[in-house]
Structure 1
Amino acid sequence: MPKPAKGSEYLKGSMIREVNALINELEDRGVDVIKMHIGQPGVPPSSGLIDEFTRLLKEKSFELSAYSSTPGILELREAIADDYHRYSGVKVSPSNISVTTGSSEAIITLAMAFLNPGDKAVVLNPTYLLYKPIMQYFNAKVTEVKVSISNDFNPDPEELKKAVDKDTKLIVLVNPDNPTGSTLRSEVVKTAVDLAVDNDSLLVYDEAYRHLYYEGEHVYALRYNMSNVIALNTFSKDPALPGWRLGFVVADEDILSVFNRVKQYININPPTPAQYIGLLYIRKYKENFIKETIPLFKERRDVVYNSIKSMLPDAKVLKPKAGLFMFPDLSSYLSRIKMNDLDFSLRLLREKHVGVVPGSAFGDGGALHIRINFTRESTDRLREGVERIAELLRELSVL
């Protein structure tokens, strides 16, 4: 075969997808796996939404199967603009919205549109696992700011200031965070925005979980500035539509003029059927669906957190105020037997049939942690999942 392109070595493959593939293999053999790994809400989409969309698809099959404009159908962008203003207080228009094929397309498009070889990109460590390898692929110099549970996984504003300089093109923040489950303090967000403005950088603000809050309120970076911030959003989380591959970004028109031009070469338009189901969701089902799911997810969060505290007393764990994830630090256990988080996660899957993601997949700052999705399964199965983690640690003679 021909030699792979330079930079492809950074795209090693997502550990989340690898774990998912192993789970699929087990399930194909009839094994029942407790799924606490993949970042998918543990509820189906609204049944009313699916019913109405099905009728619409039959009635307007041509329109829903046709090409759309690159930034998305105007109706959807109008609905997103109104909806974003309603929740954030930030006045935006359809020209400030570009609809994407999930947030992943947005990340790649941003790298293609704004990164030159040698440009600096600042990310947290640990952080969502797509950012660093994509930026490395485009020959950016990645600077990492370490975060830990000792500060609720919030970066020290002074450390951010040290990391960002005139060579910085992109600053990346994920809030609420994946994998740590943390929410960023307003001081941190404001500092990042100011640094982007002062250094002519772009703050990439990933707010995929902005509606999934159990305590507190989301901090909108766009409240502080429009010219140097691009907010990434998705329909994969609060609407529970991950397989439809739909997202959107909110930014200044000048940023989007470049973004949309580059986007044409990645994907002519976001999936048209998905755009129409997204439109129905925003207009008719969003508010009630969120009201129904938040109490359910909060109950599941509490079950996992309390189970970890009682069954894994030496683990350090943050009780997340938002999002889907918990990120327990198992170093007090794993260091005793000199086992890393990858080997532990694979052994947990093969022997106890519990799927989690090793924390090191999100950066070396996540070593000896595991990422748990606390919304994917029922409370009984989540409790059983933590029991099986404790059971494996007992068998390894560290609990």
Structure 2
Amino acid sequence: MKRISKTTIGRNLGAILGAATLGSAILLSGCSDSETSDLLGSSTTDTALAAEVSGLTTFTIEDLPAELELTSEQQTALEAAIVELESARAEMKAQFEANHPGGRRGRGGPGQGGPGAGGHRGGAPGGMIPDEGFVPPMMTFLSTAADILSRDQFVILAEYLAENRPERPERGDRPDGGKIGERFGRHLADELGLSDEQIEAFQTVVSSYREQFRDLREAVRDDEMSASEALSQALTLAGSMKTELAAILTAEQLATFQELKATRMAEGIERRLENLDERMTQRAEFVAAVLDMDDAQSAQTLSIFQNTVSQRTEILTGLQDGSIDPEVAAFRLLVIEKDAWESVYAILTSEQQESWDALKELLPVPHGRF
């Protein structure tokens, strides 16, 4: 396996995380405070894809499969990396619990509740979007392991980690949204000047659409629907939601609500528009290194990701000027992501595809068949 430094791999993993997280973070979001984020269907644990890659039960070097056939040197290095992983995750969990006294968790079980607490920009209450440099503990561990192990050993490790992640709950087995009304009443209702009747009606509509958008996202994840099909349905849902909200809010309240969403999203989007070319280059470099691509493959991979820059820029600037709804933008980004990764997968050898099939379950890339 081609070797690059742990620092470089960590930075490149962070670039992948940053690009993928935005697509999930803007889904039914736009307001950076935790009250409004919950209302709109995005919570810290839902939107940070770091939760998806950190959601592994605790393990030790003794738990790893014997077929790894580690040398004594590899075992020592990997054991140290595992200790570092568990320490970092324990710290992240403590930070999350301190910032979220109610202990509300994400969907993935133990280990998936904490990424929003640490490593996120302080200007975004609720941790809606991670800092660009934030790399979750599991990602750091994977980058270290890539330096320690051979390609075959890395595949074995990745498969073990994927197989031992907590089971995803059935759809509908999600955190209860019962506290939404309380949070809503403390903040957003005051800003919009809503009556009690409006608050109740607004909560009912948003809770319903939050679940429908989440179902679309999970249908793509579970290979039940293509990203393009989900985008089409998201456009329909967004229009219906707007119509229902317009029937509840006055024209002035609706305009204020849309303005709040746009204003509170602006900073995060601006940060993601910066150095977009560089982040796509880092992504291509990471994939090329981990999969030991030859020069031709590396050049093709770079071209594939660079060719998405204009599309990403169009979506992000559309979010800034209000021409693209945040409820739809996430699915447009998902289509771009899926198409790009499918194009990369097509140029891989069978061995490289095996490596990527094992690794992709632990990275924040779109789920589904390539």
TM-score between both structures, scaled by the size of structure 1: 0.24
Query: Structure 1 or 2: larger strand share?
Result: 1
Structure showing greater relative contact order (alpha-carbon pairs closer than 8 Å, 6 or more residues apart) = 2
Query: Structure 1 or 2: larger helix share?
Result: 2
TM-score between both structures, scaled by the size of structure 2: 0.25
